[in-house]
């Protein structure tokens, strides 16, 4: 077999395995952890989705009781929602830039995405303080209890996402070809899209599932 037949051909389509001079076996070995991490993330997303779904179901059942009372959502949640949406868009832009080999743009979008995540957590804390000022605590009110528990749980998932963001940001900072870090940024962006969808579902549940709606869903008289 000739030397050229054991070397990858440059196709120019931006895929991570299209690196000139890398033996095919080495490229395959390098692709294995990427595939494993990708599958692991989907599994984690599935487990986390199940967890949040069970909490929302429990929230609906609890809100159908006679002693349940809805709480007005603080306006700060609009800010946190916008920040999480912006973070999802920014990380998507970082993924596109890294796939195109634009390392500086990828770094800029990554930094901006990380900043919005921190601001999101700050806005959530601000919303907590606004509720506490209205005497809405984690005890004595089922809606308040679920709100604090679910927003705290979601916030922990955001903190976990920041760990992955840090790893991806360090990777793109150390490379000269952003395509080498594209798969890490892609995983981070995928997780951020998941966080956004979960938050939108939680926000909708807190806003629209009143005791009356919960009783209709649960068929409680």
Q: What is the CATH number of the domain that holds 44?
A: 1.20.120.80
Give dist(CA 84, CA 166) in Å, integer.
17
In this structure, how many other beta carbons lie within 10 angstroms of the beta carbon of residue 152? 12
Q: Residue 73 corresponds to which tokens in the numbers above?
A: 């959502």
- What is the structure's pLDDT at 68? 85
- What is the structure's pLDDT at 34? 84
Q: What is the number of structural domains in the chain?
A: 1
- What is the structure's pLDDT at 95? 94
Least confident window among 5-14, 45-54, 148-157: 5-14
Average pLDDT over residues 60-64: 93
> What does the chain come to in residues?
221
Angle, in degrees to the nearest 10, between helices 76-99 and 182-208: 160
The answer, yes or no, to whether residue 143 has pLDDT greater than 80, is: yes
Question: Which residue range is the domain that position 133 belongs to?
Answer: 3-218
**pTM metric for this prediction:** 0.83
Q: Which residues, in sequence order, are CB contacts of 24 under 8 Å at separation 6+?
A: 6, 7, 8
The overall average pLDDT reported for the chain is 87
Q: Which residues, in sequence order, are CB contacts of 149 under 8 Å at separation 6+?
A: 55, 138
Q: Is residue 210 within 8 Å of residue 63, measured between CB atoms?
A: yes
Q: Residue 87 corresponds to which tokens in the numbers above?
A: 């973070």
Q: Which residues, in sequence order, are CB contacts of 146 under 8 Å at separation 6+?
A: 55, 58, 59, 62, 206
15-24, 43-52, 137-146, 173-182: which is most confident: 43-52
């Amino acid at each position: 077999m000739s030397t050229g037949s054991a070397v990858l051909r440059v196709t120019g389509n931006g895929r991570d395995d299209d690196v000139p001079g890398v033996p095919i076996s080495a490229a395959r070995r390098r692709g294995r952890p990427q595939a494993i991490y990708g599958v692991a993330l989907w599994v984690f997303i599935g487990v986390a989705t199940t967890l949040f779904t069970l909490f929302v179901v429990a929230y609906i059942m609890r809100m159908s009781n006679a002693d349940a009372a809805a709480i007005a959502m603080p306006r700060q949640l609009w800010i946190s929602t916008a920040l999480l949406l912006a973070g999802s868009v920014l990380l998507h832009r970082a993924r596109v830039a890294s796939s195109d080999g634009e390392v500086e743009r990828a770094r800029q979008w990554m930094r901006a995405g990380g900043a919005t995540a921190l601001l999101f957590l700050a806005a959530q804390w601000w919303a907590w303080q606004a509720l506490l000022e209205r005497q809405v605590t984690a005890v004595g009110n089922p809606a308040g209890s679920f709100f604090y528990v679910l927003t705290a749980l979601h916030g922990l998932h955001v903190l976990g996402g920041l760990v992955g963001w840090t790893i991806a940001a360090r990777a793109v900072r150390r490379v000269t070809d952003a395509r080498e870090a594209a798969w890490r940024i892609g995983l981070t962006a995928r997780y951020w899209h998941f966080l956004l969808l979960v938050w939108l579902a939680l926000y909708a549940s807190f806003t629209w599932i009143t005791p009356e709606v919960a009783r209709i869903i649960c068929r409680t008289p």
